[in-house]
Amino acid sequence: MRRLEGKTAIVTGGSRGIGRAIALELGSLGAKVAINYRGGKEEAEAVAKEIQQLDSDALVIQADVGKPDEARGLVNQVKEAWGSVDILINNAGITRDKTLRKLEDDDWDKVIQTNLNSVFYTVSAAQPIMQEQKFGRIVNISSFVGQAGNFGQTNYAASKGAVIAFTKSAAQELGRYNITVNAIAPGFTQTEMFDKVPGEIQEKLLTKIPLARFGKPEEVAKAAAFLVVDGDYITGQQLNINGGVYM
Ligand code: NDP
């Protein structure tokens, strides 16, 4: 069923991995989807093509969401193109894994800018638009690492934990305008980001997952679609899609 027919969506970092899966899922439900990317133009265009084959509209927009003007410009471009911004999925994220001893200022800054500041920039640009519409569905992709912490990921864990805190606060402010704000905290999910983890470490990690396998991007995408489509009375929550690795 095309339950998002007539709705417009932005997916940051929609060119691959979890973002790509979410863009396709929303497109398959009939939404018009703006696929944001930073460097991967061809990949983003391929996602747009797949969505168009599903008979939904798609736009590809280059922007580094860690930069305030570009992130806000992304939101405003979608409003100009389609007249509304109904759904905002803050998915773009990076890692710069190092132990604290080796972590440099630039590793800290880039991760915080991309994973956390971006969420403030896009939400602050979308808020007035959604407020006027009296409708908005915002989903921020956090991580179980933001809940549990992780060796070698102080910067990443800090950014993802803060995304959850931001989500709960924004939900309290925006609820009165029928804008819901939720977070999804995926566990280890098979994407290019996760491929960077060395094989022997992946084997060790597997032993810690009750469901005894890594997650699929499509499983996170289904959760995002649930919050958007059926989550009218759900706000300020974190939905864990993690195979039980953190409870
Ligand atoms: P990938 O590395 O596979 O994809 C990341 C996406 O983000 C790409 O589309 C990339 O586009 C985009 N991106 C990165 N930086 C920017 C930027 N500054 N501006 C715009 N787009 C950007 O990652 P995943 O799909 O694995 O991760 C998606 C989200 O899920 C992230 O927030 C991640 O932290 C989170 N997550 C992932 C887990 C996992 O195990 N995979 C576990 C828990 C959370 P481009 O290549 O064009 O830069």
Burial 97-109 (b: 16+ CB within 10 A, else e): beeeeebeeebbe
- Assess if residue 246 is contained within a domain: no
**CATH value at residue 153:** 3.40.50.720
Q: Per the domain annotation, does 2 fall within a domain?
A: no
What predicted TM-score, i.e. pTM, was given to this entire model?
0.98
Tell me how many domains the chain contains. 1
Whether 215 lines ligand 1, by a CB cut-off of 6 Å, is no
CA of 79 to the centre of ligand 1 (A): 24
- Catalytic (active-site) positions: 156
Let me know if residue 147 belongs to a domain. Answer: yes
- Indicate whether 247 belongs to any domain: no
Residue 212 Cα, ligand 1 centroid: separation in angstroms? 24
Does a structural domain hold residue 105?
yes
CA dihedral 158, 97, 241, 245 (to 10 degrees): -100
Q: What is the pLDDT of residues 11-66, one digit of tens each?
A: 999 999 999 999 999 999 999 999 999 999 999 999 999 999 999 999 999 999 99
Segments forming the whole domain that contains residue 201: 8-241
Q: Is 94 within a domain?
A: yes
Instruction: Respond yes or no on whether ipTM tops 0.90.
Output: yes
Label residue 232 exposed, middle or buried (CB < 10 Å: 0-12, 13-18, 19+).
Answer: exposed
